[in-house]
Structures are given as C-alpha cells and as structure tokens.
Amino acid sequence: MVDSARTVEAVESWGFAGDAVAVSADVVAEALRARIADGKLESLLESSTGRVLFVVSNAERAMVMLLEHPGDPGEHATDPGAEDWSDGFVLSNGQADEYPDADTVPLDEALRIVRHILATGRPPADAAWVVDR
C-alpha cells in the first residue's frame, strides 16, 4: 500500500513566488514571520506540481488558501464561531482588505497549517478547513 501523503511529499517542493530556492516545512514558519516583520503581509508559495498556497496576514491573523491550479476557487482555513472582522490585510498591490475572522485564523495556527501542507501536501486533519470548489 502506498502512503499518498508520502508520495506528495516526495515529489512536491515549494518555494516563494519569484524565488528559485525551495523552502522546507521546517523553515517556512520562520520565513513567513520574517516576511511579515518586513511588511510583506502577502506571500505566495508555489508548488513544483502547480499548486499555490496564498497567505495574507495582518500580523495577528492570516488567511490561508490552497489552490490546485490557476482559476481554482480553492479551499481555505477557517475559524468557526468567530464573529468579528479584522482589517490590515495588505496585498502586494497595496490594496488593504478586511475579512471576517471566520475566514482567517490566528497567525500561529496559520503557520502550523502551512508547515503541515508543505510537509504532507494537505492541511492538518484537526484544522478547520472549507473547500470552495
């Protein structure tokens, strides 16, 4: 029997968009924290298989979206029961967005989810996750 998570991990590598250097699950949280500290609140991680992991933060919460291919509505991390809205999600084009907290997660949870996706190819089983397809 083949473990599909191991298969994805073995054939899929990730890197920040525009950067030829691969980033591993072991260092991605540190790299994202450094980008956020530098004011780069939007990050795109591209997979060698064509998938894209989009992370935009306001330094307290983050939206984490996984897209299988261009044009895919994707899937994203959620915070069920959260009722507030948060602002300060600044995209690379300068646009500042506001999102319902239910569609974002605390930054530490976002980093845990991103690490797991890079390590296994999928979100953690215990993460709240919605498929938008």
Reported as a single tens digit per residue, the pLDDT across 2-38 is 444 444 445 799 999 988 889 999 999 999 999 999 9
Within 10 A of 88 (CB to CB), how many other CB atoms are there? 15
Question: pTM for the whole thing?
Answer: 0.89
Residue boundaries of the structural domains of the chain: 4-131
The residue to which tokens 């933060």 are assigned: 57
Reported as a single tens digit per residue, the pLDDT across 45-69 is 999 999 999 999 999 999 999 999 9
DSSP output for 40-80: --EEEEEETTS-EEEEEE-SSEEEEEEESSTT---EEE--T
State the maximum Cα–Cα separation within the chain, in Å, rounded to a whole number: 48
By residue count, the chain amounts to: 133
